[in-house]
Amino acid sequence: MPYQQSWGSNNESGWLSARTAISFGAGALLMLTASRIAPPFAGRAIGSLRSMAGTDPFEALAQDHRKVLALLEQIEATDKSATMRRGAMLFQVKRMLTAHALAEEDIVYPMLHDDAHRAEEAKKLYREHADIKVRLFELEHKAKDDPSWIEGIRELRRILAEHAREEEQVEFPKLRAALDERRKSNLLGEVHREKSMVL
């Protein structure tokens, strides 16, 4: 019967099945690749749209600062017995900071270095990020009910608040003054693209 012939186990239909499987595999691979590549571009597109709607790239970064500082305050309010919750909240802090730091380290600080001619200040900010990352690593590996853990969270919040104050009140205004409208608009798109690689 024609039906059996086309789906039988002869060589030709075997080849067709293999070809179908290969093209399905290739399609799945293409979709997977696209899904890995798409977020940065989508992120950039969202950033550009927000920029057109008037969102300031530096305000977006300042919002990140406020969110992560508020989350650290919430961690400080937890009971020492809530070790799972503390671990989960710290993971969220790490995720937010990783995305934020990627955007600053790959986009904002190089512009601060080159466009605003703040080479030493940019390097200092990189060093502060490195210190924050080491602290996060220590907090991640320490017992969450140890009294020194919550002390470490408090210290991290203090360091982050000072770092954020320096960026918002000194360095971001310098960079803002050094960029024209087009570059500021591009900056927001680029910041979102970097963040979308993590978030």
Measured from the CB atom, the residue of 103 and 149 that comes closer to Fe ion is 103
Query: Should residue 194 be labelled a site residue for Fe ion when binding is judged by CB under 5 A?
Result: no
Closest approach of Cβ 108 to Fe ion, in Å? 8
d(CA 68, CA 101): 12
Q: Which is nearer to Fe ion, 131 or 146 (CB)?
A: 131
Report yes or no: 153 and 136 within 8 Å, Cβ to Cβ.
Answer: no
Rule CB under 5 A: say whether 104 interacts with Fe ion.
Answer: yes
- Cβ proximity to Fe ion: between 36 and 127 the closer is 127
Rounded Cα distance, 57 and 38, in Å: 21
Stretch that binds Fe ion, among 142-150, 151-159, 164-172, 174-182 (CB under 5 A): 164-172
Given the complex with Fe ion, which of 144 and 156 has the nearer CB atom? Answer: 156
For residue 86, give the nearest of 107, 99, 72 by alpha carbon: 72
Whether 85 contacts 180, CB under 8 Å: no
DSSP 170: I
All residues at 6 or more sequence positions from 99 whose CB lies less than 8 Å from its CB, including other chains:
194, 195, 197, 198, 199
The stretch among 25-33, 138-146, 159-167, 177-185 that binds Fe ion (CB under 5 A) is 159-167
Which stretch, 27-35, 111-119, 165-173, 181-189, contacts Fe ion (CB under 5 A)?
165-173
Binding site for Fe ion (CB under 5 A): 104, 167
